[in-house]
Each structure stands twice: as structure tokens, then as C-alpha cells.
Amino acid sequence: MELKEIMLKRRSTRKFTAEKVKEEEIEELLHAAMSGPSAVNRTPWEFYVVENEEKLKELRKATLYTNYIAPLAIVVCGNLSRALPFELKDYWIHDCSAASENILLRAVDLGLAAVWCGVYPQKKGVDNVRRILGLPDKHVPLNIIYLGHGTEDKEPRDQYAQKYIHYVR
């Protein structure tokens, strides 16, 4: 599949079959994630791969927007001990977001479906995910990406809108 096709085909899927994601597919997703850019190459990310049904059930209740039943979740976290210092400390958000998008794009390429559910900066959501997964204080959950085989086949779309483009020449 061509990159443009993958990008247009990437759509949030919220309904999944019970079919498990293969171990080699999970590895491919994580390789894609860690191929993303990172400010000063700090790679301030940590990935929690969740297949345990009890933990998945708890994660579904972590925030108002994480209640999806899927066989796999990857919780993308920022590791603040590897973040840049001082006023640059929040660049971990950019780095982990790029890693997350790479997971979503690779999922499409593998024939999988996914939905990105934001956690940070919801304090209660962050606290809930930390508790559920036993995260260290320095690991901040940015999102939960649910993955699996989708039950719906959405049409590719292009949301290009000229009105949001401003040229400075």
C-alpha cells in the first residue's frame, strides 16, 4: 500500500472482533512507533502493551473516552526522566504523539484497526492509568491506542480544507 493510501485510509475504529493481534504484528507496531522523530533524540517514550483482559477492562473505565472493547491496547507514555529540561520539558508530548501516529499508520498497513484515546492532560485519567498499570511516577500516559481487527470498513477520506492554510511568502 502506498503511504498516501495508508494516510487516507487511517480512520478511528471503535468496534473490534475478539481475534488477537499476532505477536509479530505487535513488534511491527512498536518498531514503527520508535521510528518516529524525537527532539534531540531523547526518545522519551515508554510503551505498555496490554493484552490482559482484566487490565483492558479496567482501562476502559480510566476516562470517559476510553470505553472500547479490543483485544490489545498500547499505552503510550512519556518518560520524564528522558525529557528535555526546563521550558523544553513538554516536548515529550510531541515525540510520543509522533510515535502514536506511526502506530496508527502501521496498523492500517498491517490490516488492523485502531483508535487513539487521549489520556493526558486529564488528571483523573492519568492517575487511573498509572494505578491500573502500576506506572512509575516518571511515566505519564499520553494515550491509550486500542488495536485489533475492525468490524467496520470505513471509506478513506481526505479532510483537506484550503481555509486552514495560510501562506507566508
Confidence (pLDDT) at 86: 97
CB burial readout 43-68, b (16+ within 10 A) else e: bbbbbbbbeeeebbebbbebbeebeb
Q: pLDDT of 21-79, one tens digit each?
A: 999 999 999 999 999 999 999 999 999 999 999 999 999 999 999 999 999 999 999 99
pTM reported for the whole predicted model: 0.97
